[in-house]
Structure 1
Amino acid sequence: MSPLASPPGPGRAAARQEARSAGCAAAHPLRPGRRTMTHDGLRRTFLLSVPEGKGPHPVLLDLHGLGSSAAREAAYSRLAEEGSRRGYVVATPQAAEGRMGWTLPGTAGPDDAGFLAALLDRLGDGLCADRRRAFAAGMSYGGAMSAALVCALDGRLAGVAAVGGISVALPCERPRPTTLLAFHGTADRAVPYRGGHPFPDATGTLRALADLVVLPPVERAVDDWARAFGCSGRATARPAAGVRLRTWKACPSGAALRLYTLDGGGHTWPGAAGTSGPDATTIILDAFDRAPSR
């Protein structure tokens, strides 16, 4: 410490100590790679990326889309690789065996919100995690599940990001202030930007299921989140060619809301291999770095 610097006050030191999870003292920390755990009688798996350093580290859940997998999500989003470089513990979980995707809160199926909460607990017990800095992001249905966790985990997450899925999960009445980012292409054929039935090109069972669902337009869905958070002062900017950024100037402390609209963009993760547009991975991690701690 510089001789001119003042030592941290007791309040700041106590806050740092409170943020440290039990895993900071773990004799046998969790090792990176493919890990398993049991929740609600079901054996669940997740891929784990652990950063260097002692921590405490922020924790990020990366959720795959419908019909995808943890391995494909990790490769596609690059959050495990890039997040761990920034000091994040990144867990990329797999939906329950025999399921194409996640069970949104209030729908039939495994208690995935409970599983993801238990996964955060497991990471906190097995690694030196910052309990005030937990995040979730995902693609498509995984993005919808990430947004749903704002309400389902009742403020446990400091930030979430939904890529191609924000209109699938509606906000609850009074969500806790959270940093929320959404990315969506206007030419998305799986989750239409202007709303309507998802997966219009599907056939068979998926077509029958999709016909039962009518999604709101993406901009309306994000406006609903703004109202739920209590944000006002909507503004639109053009940060790059083909990109529209919708923000809100006034949100309650701890809340921030952004919608990145990709003109002509499809059902993709912007910046991933073979896609165009801004690098969603970098934007998400930059926003999570700046998000207020819980």
Structure 2
Amino acid sequence: MLRRALRALPAVLLTAACTSGATPPPRAAPAECALKPGRHTLRHGGQERTYLLSLPAKGKGRWPVVLNLHGLGSNAGRQADRSRLPAAGARRGYVIVTPQMARHRMAWTLPGYYGPDDTGFLTTLLDTLVAKGCADASRQFAAGMSYGAGMSMALVCAMKGRLAAVAPVAGLNVVPPCPEAAPTTIVAFHGTGDVTVPYGGGHPFARSPSRLRTLAKLVRLASVEGAAGRWARIMGCPAPRTTKVRAGVRLRAWKDCRQGVSVRLYTIGGAGHVWPRPDGVRRVDAAGLILDAFDAVSVRRGR
């Protein structure tokens, strides 16, 4: 045995010498996304759940992905249209996935509350898009409108730092900040004329049907500016700087926070409970500003 090993040694050394300086094989090209744009279903918790998928027209898979969450009583189709994220995101090289809440439900189930496991569903949805070769596991984001905005903020902790950035529109103050949050960039939008989720805090649904107003008396929201300040403290941000973006639009920005994240709040004077669009109130393009913020994020997460 020893003689055979010694006789083989020169060949082993020669092979090592020949291969040590060899050029490594080229990396495999990214796999093509196995899904097509449009409506899809995903079984979770014993129920078929649906989602709308928008993909970039050019290139192959492994794009950054954004969860686009609709509000209370709304649906995926309305959120896709009103947010403009599917069209704007596809042009910018993002996968935009707009999921539908469970059947016979009016709202997402916040983490820790009774109802369908929406946190599990959204986590499985991201995992599926990664497994199908569509989404980059290291660049995952969420945006949402109203209660969907609240759900996006709740996912900051519920997904244990998986999301690199979130963008709540008209709902930053729907859920209280979680002290254990990992560094996460936040870009928020809110109108001072919002009476559904009041900018100054207090009871929501001030002009909604009486049943909702009765339920709303059990809820008292923090002010939007107060919620932004608490999130900024959790993210380890220094004092903010306030600038005028245009007439009636103010930006309060906290920069140089932990691990390079930032917190930004766009306050839109007089705007109600709406998703800001370039053709609407104050001509603020929320979709474009959200994607700008996501483009600039240096903290990457995922699995």
Q: TM-score, normalised by structure 2?
A: 0.86
Query: Among residues 45, 52, 59, which one is paired with 2:50 in the alignment?
Result: 45
Distance 1:220 1:191 in 2: 14
Q: Which residue of 1 aligns with 2:248?
A: 242
| Mapping for residues 11-22 of structure 1, pairs under 5 Å | none
- 2:151 is aligned with what amino acid? M
| Mapping for residues 154-165 of structure 1, pairs under 5 Å | 154-165=160-171
Q: Which residue of 2 aligns with 1:63?
A: 69
| Mapping for residues 71-220 of structure 1, pairs under 5 Å | 71-220=77-226
Distance 1:105 1:197 in 2: 21
Whether contact under 8 Å (2:255, 2:261) holds in the other structure is no
1:183 offset after TM fit, Å? Answer: 0.4
Bigger CA radius of gyration: 2
- 1:150 is aligned with what amino acid? V
| Mapping for residues 267-282 of structure 1, pairs under 5 Å | 267-271=273-277, 274-282=280-288
1:203 offset after TM fit, Å? Answer: 2.3
Structure 1 stretches of 4+ with a deviation exceeding 3 A read 272-277
- 2:196 is aligned with what amino acid? A
Whether contact under 8 Å (1:76, 1:272) holds in the other structure is no
String of CA shifts for 1:242-277, please: whole Å, max 9, x gaps: 111111133111421000000111111111654333
Alignment size in residue pairs: 273
1:174 offset after TM fit, Å? Answer: 2.1
1:71 offset after TM fit, Å? Answer: 0.2
Q: Which residue of 1 aligns with 2:289?
A: 283
- Same amino acid, percent of matched pairs: 56
Distance 1:128 1:119 in 2: 11
Three-state SS of the structure 2 residue aligned to 1:232 is: coil
> Which residues of structure 2 form unaligned runs of 5+?
1-23
1:285 offset after TM fit, Å? Answer: 0.5
Three-state SS of the structure 1 residue aligned to 2:239 is: strand
Q: Which residue of 1 aligns with 2:19?
A: none
String of CA shifts for 1:207-266, please: whole Å, max 9, x gaps: 222111100111001111011111122211112111111111331114210000001111
> Which residues of structure 1 form unaligned runs of 5+?
1-12
1:110 offset after TM fit, Å? Answer: 1.1
Q: TM-score, normalised by structure 1?
A: 0.89
Distance 1:176 1:143 in 2: 18
Distance 2:131 2:278 in 1: 33
Q: Which residue of 2 aligns with 1:4?
A: none
